[in-house]
Structure 1
């Protein structure tokens, strides 16, 4: 999946001259936490976040009355509080690369540029939605996992067992098991109606299935 497939394209933006007070109203009304700042022609100049506005509020509120605070915030503009050196993405960037950038830089969103113009934005909420979609989470499915060694053909073996049992895999994901070199988790999700049958099928095929949280993983480790 690529950023361009998941980014929001109907953007709410501000200009450097937009007041901090107005920006706060815009973000509250539309329930957003990031407001790209443009030149009015899709040229990205910066970004302002909910945290930026809270800090502007707090610093002004320490010495001013409510009336004075309102007046100051109406005069204070986005240019005074926005981040100018913005980390961005492109539509053809992979979702996992965007997630890595967001995590490494501890930010909440990436404005998306194409040919130097702002065309979208992707946020941590969008990335969480991708994760849930990849995991196949829905009310009519259930999940279980297998611990396997990193070897060629193990996914094909699981798929063959499911196919022979006429069970459709709704989603499948592989992740390394932290702290156990060479051991991977296979996370599978099937329709709730065939959940027990899927577990039994894999157990008969030689796999040890984890269907609930356990602290000790030793009994579920794959045999050599």
Structure 2
């Protein structure tokens, strides 16, 4: 899946000369947490979060109803340089950026010009879709030997019951690097027949366990 498929194209932006007060009002009005700061050519030169604005705002106990701090330009608190991604980058790579850099928002640019924005909430929802947990389904975890061609061999068993596969994930089997775990979500609430098909073919099903099989 590409970044352009999940990015928000309608982006609220500000110029660096706008005031902190303006940013505060936009954050509240649009219920957002980040505002990219752009120049005259819509190139991203900074970014401001609700936390940045909150930290720059005076205390609620301040007697002055129009404190000077809120009139400071947004450039005085924006974060720069800004990590950006390209519309044709893969979502899986974007997830690594969120994790490694511990950020909550990434502007999307093409030739340095702003195209859209992706937040951690967008990323989380996309991962839910990729794993198939957003549809009614059952999860089956199969332990298999780590060798080329094993995935099509396993999925071939599912064709026997004509069940629809929602998603497939593969991760290492930590106790033994010679094996992997294939996690397959199928659109049925009764996975037992498929589990028994897998076991008859010699595959070890780790989850769910067939109640008819001895431990």
State the TM-score bracket (shorter-chain normalisation): 0.7 to 0.9
Q: CA deviation at 1:179?
A: 5.7
Q: CA deviation at 1:155?
A: 0.9
In structure 2, the CA distance between the partners of 1:139 and 1:116, relative to structure 1 (3 Å rule), is: closer
Structure 2 residue aligned with 1:195, among 182, 191, 194? Answer: 191
TM-score by length of 1: 0.83
CA contact under 8 A between 2:141 and 2:182: conserved in structure 1? yes
**Larger deviation: 34-43 or 154-163?**
34-43
In structure 2, the CA distance between the partners of 1:18 and 1:87, relative to structure 1 (3 Å rule), is: same
In structure 2, the CA distance between the partners of 1:127 and 1:182, relative to structure 1 (3 Å rule), is: farther
Q: Which runs of no fewer than 5 residues in structure 2 stay unpaired?
A: 210-214
**Correspondences of 1:57-136 after superposition (within 5 Å):** 57=57, 60-61=58-59, 65-68=61-64, 70-136=66-132
**Correspondences of 1:115-194 after superposition (within 5 Å):** 115-178=111-174, 180-194=176-190
1:50 counterpart residue number = 50
2:212 counterpart residue number = none
Task: Encode CA deviations 1:56-102: one digit per residue, 9 max, x unaligned.
Answer: 23xx42xx843337423431231111012111111121112222222
Q: Alignment length, in residue pairs?
A: 210
In structure 2, the CA distance between the partners of 1:212 and 1:197, relative to structure 1 (3 Å rule), is: closer
Q: Which runs of no fewer than 5 residues in structure 1 stay unpaired?
A: 214-218, 220-224
CA contact under 8 A between 1:33 and 1:50: conserved in structure 2? yes
Q: CA deviation at 1:47?
A: 0.3
